[in-house]
Amino acid sequence: MKNLSLVLLLIGISFGAIAQSDVTGKWKTIDDETGKEKSVVEIYEKDGKVYGKITKLFRGPDEEQDPICDVCPGDRKNKKIIGMEIIRGMEWDADDKEYDEGEIMDPKDGKTYDCVLWKEGNELKVRGYVAFFYRTQTWKKVN
């Protein structure tokens, strides 16, 4: 009976790890105001937390193709946006089935927001918020 309990515990831990890791991978960001593709963000796990960096930008021919963020704060100031970590320190919240406690930064204006990530089907919901004010984007999985 003791071995059965141990096996069930290990199975439960395995399913929990799978549920936590399903936000990792590459996601195409969609601007919630214009509906246009903006970038590809690669979400990955590091030291038990989830982070995301921009790996590609969708820019018009008249826009800078490899821009620098001169309005970004701290260690991101005057760095290239491609390769920049814009999601930091997200932790799995098993009760709410989402990642929270981290932050997301908008390289367009350099503002940083509290963040929540969760999946709905094949879509990733990304919510940045300050107090009770928030904005949610839907990101699409890149195959």
Rg (CA), the chain: 17
pLDDT tens digits, one per residue of 93-115: 999 999 999 999 999 999 999 99
Task: Please provide the average confidence, as pLDDT, over all residues in the chain.
Answer: 88
pLDDT at 8: 36
- pTM greater than 0.75 (yes/no): yes
pLDDT at 31: 87
Letter string b/e over residues 64-85, b meaning 16 or more CB atoms within 10 A of that residue's CB: eeeeebeebeeebeeeebbebb
pLDDT at 1: 55
Q: Label residue 53 by pLDDT band (50, 70, 90).
A: very high
